[in-house]
Amino acid sequence: MAFLLAIEGADGAGKATATAAVVAHLAAQGLSACALSFPRYTDTVGGWALGEYLAERLPRAVSPQAAATLYALDRFESRAHLVDMAARHDVVVFDRYIASNMAYQAAQVPDGEAEALMTWIARLETGQFALPVPDLSVYLDTPLAVARTLIAQKRRRSYTDDTYDAYEADLGLQARVRANYAAMADAAMLGEWMTVETVAHAALRPPEMIAAEIADAVIGRLEG
Ligand SMILES: Nc1ncnc2c1ncn2[C@@H]1O[C@H](COP(=O)(O)OP(=O)(O)O)[C@@H](O)[C@H]1O
Ligand SMILES: Cc1cn([C@H]2C[C@H](O)[C@@H](COP(=O)(O)OP(=O)(O)O)O2)c(=O)[nH]c1=O
């Protein structure tokens, strides 16, 4: 069974870029690594429904619990693929995983209900849906203003032509998501975390440098 690494963070934090760079860095160190990105918009029923939801094409309001269940369903439908990839590699790098669901859906309920919703999601995904807990989650900490600029540079998405999807357009949501990630990392929810700052001396760090910091942490744990 591979080491399971989850790259987490707000929209535009640089997760896809860091994921690809970590896979390349691990490969250069002789480890077989692969990436798995969630949601899988074009591979699962849950993923397709999520594209419709994020592009605001669903004809009904979607509660945080319903959204959480769709994201969890996308991973449940991907479970056999995930297990197969884990059997064939040393490291699987997730570009978003269960913690995304906890951070984003808990950001959409009143403060007093957030912790209970996080626990409910963790139990649904790791209990009922038997998805593995990651060995290490990385919180990519990117300031909101920088992340806005980076979102605008992203390639076109499969589900929308808009620059910002429904979640990205909501600045209050993005701020609460950041706070939730910081709290989850502090409390080691869903296993061990490390926080990686993507900006240093007022400039974005090169992806290779960010990836080296993350890959070294993985290699340290594999050797230790
Ligand atoms: N460290 C970095 N330095 C410069 N540009 C970056 C960096 N990380 C990401 N980017 C750019 O920012 C945009 C969004 O990055 P991406 O990895 O897709 O973010 P996310 O997956 O978190 O939404 C992309 O155009 C990417 O090339
Ligand atoms: C994977 C996942 C994503 N999300 C949210 C975070 C993002 O705002 C949104 C879309 O994810 P993402 O694929 O990261 O966005 P993009 O297609 O723009 O790269 O879904 C959850 O709420 N729960 C989850 O389990």
The number of beta carbons lying within 10 Å of the beta carbon of residue 209 is 13
Q: What whole-number distance in Å separates Cα of residue 44 and Cα of residue 159? A: 14
CB distance 42 to 52 below 8 Å: no
Token pair, residue 209, equals 């440098």
pLDDT value of position 156: 87
pLDDT value of position 98: 99
Longest Cα–Cα distance of the chain, Å, equals 51
On whether ipTM exceeds 0.95, the answer is: yes
Angle at 217 between CA 90 and CA 202, to 5 degrees: 130
Q: What whole-number distance in Å separates Cα of residue 48 and Cα of residue 51? A: 5
The residue behind tokens 């626990």 is 119
Q: Examine residue 207 and say whether the peptide bond preceding it is cis (omega within 30 degrees of 0).
A: no
The residue behind tokens 């949601």 is 39
**Ligand 1 centre and the CA of 154: distance in Å?**
7
pLDDT value of position 48: 98
Residue nearest (by alpha carbon) to ligand 2 atom 21 = 101
pLDDT value of position 145: 95
Q: What whole-number distance in Å separates Cα of residue 5 and Cα of residue 19? A: 9
Residue nearest (by alpha carbon) to ligand 2 atom 12 = 39
Sign, Cα dihedral of 110, 115, 116, 118: positive
Output the tens digit of pLDDT for each of the chain's 224 residues: 999 999 999 999 999 999 999 999 999 999 999 999 999 999 999 999 999 999 999 999 999 999 999 999 999 999 999 999 999 999 999 999 999 999 999 999 999 999 999 999 999 999 999 999 999 999 999 999 999 999 999 888 999 999 999 999 999 999 999 999 999 999 999 999 999 999 999 999 999 999 999 999 999 999 98
Residue 103 CA: nearest ligand 2 atom is 22
Which residues line the pocket of ligand 1, CB cutoff 6 A?
9, 11-17, 150, 153-154, 198, 204-205, 207, 210
Residue nearest (by alpha carbon) to ligand 1 atom 7 = 14
Which residues is 200 bridged to in the sheet?
Answer: 203
Reported pTM: 0.97
- Give the domains, in start order, of the chain with CATH numbers: 3-38+76-223 (3.40.50.300)
Which amino acid does the sequence have at 46? G
81: left (phi over 0), alpha (psi -120 to 50) or beta: alpha
The number of beta carbons lying within 10 Å of the beta carbon of residue 127 is 9
Angle at 102 between CA 96 and CA 105, to 5 degrees: 105
Q: What whole-number distance in Å separates Cα of residue 62 and Cα of residue 177? A: 18
Q: Which ligand is nearest to the CA of 19?
A: 1
Angle at 119 between CA 39 and CA 175, to 5 degrees: 60
pLDDT value of position 154: 86
Give the list of residues 6+ apart from residue 80 with CB closer than 8 angstroms, or none: none
